[in-house]
Structure 1
Amino acid sequence: MKINCNILQFHETGQLDVLKMDNVTLEDPVNDEVLFRVDAFAINRADVLHYQGAHTTLPTFPARIGSEATGEVIKIGAKVTDFKVGDRVTSIPLNTDKYGVQGEYATVPQDYLSKAPENLTTEEACSIWMQYSTAYFALFHVGSVKKDDFIFIPPISSSAGYGCFELARDAGANAIGSTRSSAKKEELKKLGIHNLVITNEESVENRLAEITGGKGVSFVYDPVAGNFCNEYLDSLSMGAVIIIYGLLDPNPTLYPLVPLIRKKAIMDAYSQFNHVEDINKLNECKAYILERIKTGAIKPVVSKVFDFKDYKKAYEYMLSNQQIGKIVVRVSK
């Protein structure tokens, strides 16, 4: 029996008003697909870029949106071996809008699902994979970050930034975060983030030199790019790696050839989608993250929860940049 439900999708790119709640009929899952009832979903900056038409994932209209959701398996395709009806699952981002998850029901291939960790709430469980998989491949596959390294994470109050901080701290690295003003400073300290650069109030270069004792940073996890890159280029250590995974600064990101040569550094145009397409690497990431969650070494921070009918308010809250951690929309009661 096919399912009639409400989902979020867009029929053209633009600003937030292009994102609609549409009533649709979902096809039954086939082959390796899993259909699950969505209890909650998380929203990410990538979702905003998607409906704006600025994301690396090109939309196919009507385009479903979203990559992180938690819920109960309702139906499975004939080739599904890892899940059964009744399992509680959480979805992993993949590079297509065919499998968007923001709605009352969602269909995802089994490789891009995991069992929802039993020690997390529903809201926490749908907040795992975008932040931790993005950070995992950047830190350990591209950056080769190791114990005692100094790394720079701007802005650290985002879910992606905080996820990177947790994994780096767990690996023994020295994480330095940034935030634009002092407004979030005390809350960030409560989360264990003590090395902070207040970018609107102090020199990034001078503060990084102070914190690292002049050694510089060996890894930068940067979703801002644009002109902001110039603020830390002279603070790199030899052989540093810069990960550019976002474009929050609307100014063009110019390739800084000379500063990179001076430090034998690289600037990587990064997306976790280029890694999760490799199933072996994806499974490695899954095992690592789920084990760290099981032990309590890492745990998602949920900033605020909205009802499904208020999905636009959830996106407006993201656009306000007030959050520390993940923004979640609760679907089922």
Structure 2
Amino acid sequence: MARTVRFHQAGGPEVLRLDDLDPGEPGQGEVRVRVDAIGINRAEVLFRRDQYIEPVKQFPSRLGAEAAGVVEAIGPDVTGFAPGQAVSVIPAFSQNDYGVYAEQAVVPASALVNRPDGIDAIAGAAVWMPYLTAYGAMVEIAGLRAGENVVLNAASSSVGLAAIQTANRVGARPLVVTRTRAKRQRLLDEGAAEVIVSDEEDVAGRVLDLTAGRGAEYVFDAVAGPEVVNLARVVASGGTLFLWGAQSGQPTPYPGFELGMPALNLRSYTVHEITRDPQRLLRATAFVSSGLLAGTFRPVVDRVFPLEQIVQAHEHMESNSQVGKIVVSVDHG
């Protein structure tokens, strides 16, 4: 039996329970992983509340899409992986079908990547989702180039920090937005070219000043909601505003009409565009692995909780006080 986190109804962190379940044997194209560490993501908070982009189909429901561990068993027709191999699980499946908040978990082999040498379980659970997300939107889809300006909000999240490092790796200029001054210096230390404090400064005016009135070629918005109109003001003519999160939980208007129909591209994006496409994923893992080996990419871990404190880990996520990734460690005794 394996301790497995499930929720029997939608709600706050308190609905999470540790149940003893048989992890089962891997089926066609599946692998069973001994989970050593779990990455906590905002998508799981939304799924737990049944506010995610896909609804919860049944209760009790499992949770979790990012982890690191060791392959225990492989199912029929699985190639490239073997028992004893150190791997990471990446978000490449629906949480209605699989979940990695557990001591052992069966997942699709297509959701596994080899864990590079020198990357331990904590780092292996913290690094992939942020960097795959950032690479996919910024490099694979946007084609971000050296010298271009990038605006990022929610910059102290794991994705925000990965986006800063990704922008720097390709020679772009990350202009980051944070709500309060408390995280300003940390963001500068993490590589931000400029930090704009939205509670104190006019975000649009500051970006336009920093770009000599041109605006940013790309804006990556993890918050959405009404503020999208203000962010759209800073997109350079012909530039693109990516919506890659909805932390505000509020309706998001289309800003084009209010702003007089500028040459604005508006695009939604999720990491599944990369992780569910084998060729894109191959390029993405090569990009991230090269950054890790070169030392220019690194996971930023805010805090590690034991599995027994999964409720507290989700409470910490919802506090929005973290800088970087929240990770849960799994002690197998």
Q: TM-score, normalised by structure 2?
A: 0.95
* Deviation (angstroms), 1:317: 0.8
Question: Per-residue CA shift, 1:40-59, capped at 9, x if unaligned?
Answer: 10101111001111112332
Moved over 6 A (4+): none
Does residue 21 of the first structure (1) align with residue 18 of the second (2)? yes
RMSD of the TM alignment (CA)?
A: 1.6
Q: Secondary structure at the match of 2:72?
A: strand
User: Does 2:128 align with 1:124?
Assistant: no
Give distance in 2, aligned partners of 1:121 and 1:71.
9
Quote the Cα distance in structure 2 between the aligned partners of 1:29 and 1:169.
41
Partner of 1:179: 178
Q: Distance in 2 between matches of 1:307 and 1:101?
A: 14
SS in 2 for 1:126: helix
Going from structure 1 to structure 2, the CA distance change for 1:75 and 1:222 (only over 3 Å counts) comes to same
Counterpart CA distance in 1 for 2:14 and 2:230 is: 35
Pick aligned residue for 2:39 from 25, 38, 42: 42
- Segments of structure 1 that go 5 or more residues without pairing to the other structure are none
**Aligned residue number for residue 112 of structure 1:** 111
- From the superposition, tell whether residues 174 and 194 of structure 1 become closer, same or farther in structure 2 (CA, over 3 Å): closer
| CA deviation profile, 1:52-99 (whole Å, cap 9, x unmatched) | 111123323232111111111111112111111111110110231222
Residue pairs, 1:152-163, within 5 angstroms: 152-163=151-162
**Given that residues 57 and 95 in structure 1 are in contact (C-alpha distance below 8 angstroms), is that contact kept between their aligned partners in structure 2?**
no
Identity %: 32
Contact 1:38 1:332 survives alignment (8 Å): no
Return the alpha-carbon distance in structure 1 between the equivalents of residues 147 and 316 of structure 2. Answer: 36
Taking structure 1 as reference, are residues 170 and 91 closer, same or farther at Cα in structure 2, changes over 3 Å only? same
TM-superposition CA deviations, 1:261-287 (whole Å, max 9, x none): 743111112212233222222222222
Q: Offset of 1:109 from its aligned partner?
A: 1.5
SS at match of 2:227: helix
Distance 2:280 2:72 in 1: 28
Give the Cα separation in 2 of the matches to 1:192 and 1:139. 16
How far is the alpha carbon of 1:258 from its aligned partner?
2.6
* Superposition map of 1:188-207 within 5 A: 188-207=187-206
Q: Say if 2:92 and 2:110, in contact at 8 Å, map to a contact too.
A: no
Quick check: 1:51 aligned with 2:43? no
In structure 2, list runs of 5 or more residues that go unmatched.
none
Q: Say which SS state the counterpart of residue 20 (structure 1) adopts.
A: strand
How far has the Cα of 1:313 moved from its partner? 0.9
Match for 2:39: what amino acid?
A
- Tell me which residue corresponds to 2:227: 228
Question: What CA distance in whole angstroms lies between the structure 1 residues aligned with 2:28 and 2:202?
Answer: 55
Give the counterpart of 1:12 among 9, 18, 21: 9
**Does the CA-based 8 Å contact 2:232-2:241 persist in structure 1?**
no
Q: Matches of 1:245 and 1:190 in 2, distance apart?
A: 24
Mapped to 2, the partners of 1:80 and 1:95 lie a distance apart of 17
Q: Name 1:90's counterpart in structure 2.
A: 88
Deviations along 1:111-149, whole A, 9 cap, x unmatched? Answer: 211111222232111112211111112112332211111
Q: Is the 8 Å Cα contact of residues 276 and 282 (structure 1) preserved in structure 2?
A: yes
1:157-211 deviation per Cα after TM superposition (whole angstroms, max 9, x unaligned) = 0001111111111011101111111111122222222411100011001210222
Q: What is the aligned residue count?
A: 330
Partners of 1:38 and 1:70 within 8 A in 2: yes
2:254 counterpart residue number: 255
Q: Distance in 2 between matches of 1:296 and 1:210?
A: 33
Q: Secondary structure at the match of 2:14?
A: helix
CA drift at 1:250: 2.9
Equivalent in the alignment of 1:68:
66
Compared with structure 1, are the counterparts of its residues 260 and 27 closer, same or farther at alpha carbon in structure 2 (3 Å cutoff)?
farther
Query: What's the CA shift for 1:100?
Result: 1.0
